[in-house]
Amino acid sequence: MRNIGRTVQSSIYRSGVYGHRPVVPTSPDALADAARRRMSRTAWSYVAGGAGAQRTVEANREAFGRYRIVPRQMVDVGQRSLTTTLLGRELPAPVLFGPVGALELAVQHQRGRGGRGAAPRNAEPALARAARDLGLPVVISSQASTPMEDTAATLGDSPRWFQLYWSSDDALVESFVTRAEASGCEAIVVTLDTHVLGWRTMDLDLGYLPFARAEGIAQYLSDPAFQKLVEERVRAATPPGTTSARPTIAAVRSLLSMAAHHPGPTLRNLTQPYARAAVETFLDVFSRSTLTWADLAWLRERTTLPVLVKGIQHPDDARAALDHGADGIIVSNHGGRQVDNAVASLDTLGPVVDAVRAHSGADPAGPPVPVLFDSGIRTGADVFTALALGADAVLLGRPWVYGLALAGADGVRAVTEHVLAELDLTMALAGVAETGQIGRHNLAG
Ligand SMILES: Cc1cc2nc3c(=O)[nH]c(=O)nc-3n(C[C@H](O)[C@H](O)[C@H](O)COP(=O)(O)O)c2cc1C
């Protein structure tokens, strides 16, 4: 991508002459505010919420204020490029769409639009269309609302990775990895920081977990290994006895949602035990808390794709991951959704980068080990700061979900273009022509 800043900026100002405002706000707070007004309370809480008292969510943002960019003058930056190379593939910019589960919440749980669960599943297809237009990779979530094969079909030739939640069932993990390879994924991202769900107070206070209503479990429902587990569960189940609990409207809604999400006709699903058994099975096999670094070898043996570990916040964990076969590191605290009062993700980036560079310095002939970053990126200046601290690329999270809620694929594209435009203009004003030239020398102190 060349000089995208001026292009996007001029197009917004030109449209303004005709009285048109941007499809989605360019200011991060206005963007979040507009999305909050559009989404239902449960959807907003799930997407925006973090753990406990929300201190990590806040810390992630505050940390960016502590690293200041230094503007530089009289450098020829007339031709700027955001292009970069990651895992051997050239990308138009060092930006990926981070894995976001239960994405349907952004499009189906909208205020004033009624209808839950039964609406068409168009969240990942919208994301995929935007990503394809921009040429930026999508990290497809294990908790997606669309089977990965369908998302891959919409993506066409555009790059995609697969994010794995390491289930307690080996056959299911193997099946996910095999399907990801067949779907053209170019890397496996294994998320380590969510082997149990964090204490998410905004969801807890609403008693709301999307997966309990079969939202965000499309990868599982479409998986042969998972279907086998559900069959076994149904076969082993004793017939339901009489229950004294009185059915509530919420329970009926949940049941309808499960039936609507399950493969096959909703009416038939309502009369059979499979839809409910699938949710129970998912809740049983979602993750395992017994994993240790030694287990990484098991995954490493099952795929030829690069394996990146997501959720690293300590240099020792980065070193251990590399020692056990990881091909890349994603510095992330899951957007503050897991541990309250945790260290800001950005504060851990520099030390992890140093550890990884020192580690790979021991093997200069080996392939470069990418260090990616997420948690708190809202603007192009934020991307610049993360790159300056040594990240090779960043994952965008909540901002593009807000764009999706506001304007579908156009919204995702617009939010991303705004971030890229500001990155480009920040580079111009900091005297940098190529993303590869951004470094700690661009920061104060
Ligand atoms: C609604 C939502 C769902 C998410 N689902 C996943 C997921 O399925 N897998 C995963 O590895 N990370 C998931 N994440 C974490 C993101 O990949 C990313 O780490 C986080 O959003 C970064 O924080 P930020 O959005 O505040 O920048 C999710 C984040 C949000 C907001």
Q: Which of 100, 162, 192, 202 to mutate to test the pocket of ligand 1 (most atoms within 8 A of CB)?
A: 100
Mean pLDDT of the chain: 95
Rounded average pLDDT over 180-190? 98
Do residues 281 and 303 both lie within one domain? Answer: no
If you take atom 3 of ligand 1, which residue's CA is the nearest one? 100
Which ligand 1 atom sits nearest the alpha carbon of residue 334?
19
Q: How far apart are CA 117 and CA 60, in angstroms?
A: 32
To which residue do tokens 């920061």 refer?
443
Residue 101 Cβ inside 6 Å of ligand 1? The answer reads yes
* 8 Å CB contact between 211 and 255: no
| Domain-located, residue 200 | yes
Do residues 385 and 318 both lie within one domain? Answer: yes
Task: Note the helical H segments in 374-397.
Answer: 380-388
The CATH number for 185's domain is: 3.20.20.70
| Domain-located, residue 244 | no
Q: Ligand 1 mean position to 243 CA, how many Å?
A: 38
Residue 5 Cβ inside 6 Å of ligand 1? The answer reads no
| Domain-located, residue 243 | no
| Domain-located, residue 343 | yes
Q: How far apart are CA 200 and CA 423, in angstroms?
A: 32
Q: How far apart are CA 282 and CA 206, in angstroms?
A: 21
Q: Ligand 1 mean position to 273 CA, how many Å?
A: 32
Residues 6 or more apart whose Cβ sits within 8 Å of residue 204: none
Q: Which positions are annotated as active-site residues? A: 334
Do residues 258 and 299 both lie within one domain? Answer: no
pLDDT in tens, 411-424: 999 999 999 999 99
Q: Ligand 1 mean position to 190 CA, how many Å?
A: 13
Confidence of residue 114 (pLDDT cuts 50, 70, 90): very low
pLDDT for the residue 48: 98
Do residues 303 and 376 both lie within one domain? Answer: yes
Which ligand 1 atom sits nearest the alpha carbon of residue 191?
11
| Domain-located, residue 361 | yes
Check pLDDT > 50 for residue 116. Answer: no
Q: Ligand 1 mean position to 268 CA, how many Å?
A: 34
Rounded average pLDDT over 74-89? 98
Confidence of residue 361 (pLDDT cuts 50, 70, 90): confident
Confidence of residue 108 (pLDDT cuts 50, 70, 90): confident
Residue 216 Cβ inside 6 Å of ligand 1? The answer reads no
Q: 190 vs 363, which has greater pLDDT?
A: 190
pLDDT for the residue 363: 79
Residue 143 Cβ inside 6 Å of ligand 1? The answer reads yes
Do residues 342 and 423 both lie within one domain? Answer: yes
Check pLDDT > 80 for residue 56. Answer: yes
Check pLDDT > 50 for residue 382. Answer: yes
| Domain-located, residue 42 | yes
pLDDT in tens, 204-216: 999 999 999 999 9
Do residues 436 and 332 both lie within one domain? Answer: yes
Do residues 365 and 401 both lie within one domain? Answer: yes
- As separate numbers, helices (DSSP H) first and strands (DSSP E) second, the chain gives 19, 10
Q: How far apart are CA 303 and CA 417, in angstroms?
A: 34
Q: How far apart are CA 297 and CA 278, in angstroms?
A: 30
Number of domains in the chain: 2
Q: Which of 118-132, 360-374, 375-389 has the lowest mean pLDDT?
A: 118-132
Do residues 63 and 145 both lie within one domain? Answer: yes
| Domain-located, residue 435 | yes
| Domain-located, residue 158 | yes
Check pLDDT > 80 for residue 438. Answer: yes
Confidence of residue 291 (pLDDT cuts 50, 70, 90): very high
Residue 98 Cβ inside 6 Å of ligand 1? The answer reads yes
Q: Ligand 1 mean position to 368 CA, how many Å?
A: 26
Confidence of residue 237 (pLDDT cuts 50, 70, 90): confident
pLDDT for the residue 244: 60
pLDDT for the residue 242: 55
Do residues 311 and 217 both lie within one domain? Answer: no
If you take atom 18 of ligand 1, which residue's CA is the nearest one? 334
Check pLDDT > 90 for residue 318. Answer: yes
pLDDT for the residue 117: 41
Check pLDDT > 50 for residue 64. Answer: yes
Do residues 262 and 323 both lie within one domain? Answer: no
pLDDT in tens, 299-309: 999 999 999 99
pLDDT in tens, 342-351: 999 999 999 9
Query: 331 pairs with which residues across the strands?
Result: 312, 373
pLDDT in tens, 13-50: 999 999 999 989 999 999 999 999 999 999 999 999 99
Which ligand 1 atom sits nearest the alpha carbon of residue 310?
11
Do residues 261 and 137 both lie within one domain? Answer: no
Rounded average pLDDT over 261-269? 95
pLDDT for the residue 235: 96
Domain residues for 273?
210-237+250-285
Confidence of residue 365 (pLDDT cuts 50, 70, 90): confident
Do residues 116 and 230 both lie within one domain? Answer: no
